[in-house]
Amino acid sequence: MKKKRKEYDFKVLESKIDTLIKLIASGITYGKELKDQTRLLYNAGFKPKEIAKLLNKSANSVRVTLTLYKKK
């Protein structure tokens, strides 16, 4: 019983942390263009796949935006 409780508590905690990350990311990127949002999140240490999830974009779109950013 305790193991199931710990697993449940961990999932709840993980869900709450994910929500906090989304809130912080949206605060950092609010009102900015996609390229600036992507750059800010990338510089904050997020991977392209994570950025895509946070911005509700495809991972490919994020990678293209980052490639263009890195060329400048």
What are the pLDDT tens digits along the chain (72 aa)?
Answer: 566 777 778 888 999 998 999 899 889 899 999 999 999 999 999 999 999 999 999 999 999 999 998 887
**Full-prediction pTM beyond 0.85?**
no
Place of tokens 């800010």: 40
Whether the CB-CB separation of 37 and 69 falls below 8 Å is answered with no
* Per-residue tokens: 46: 């997020």
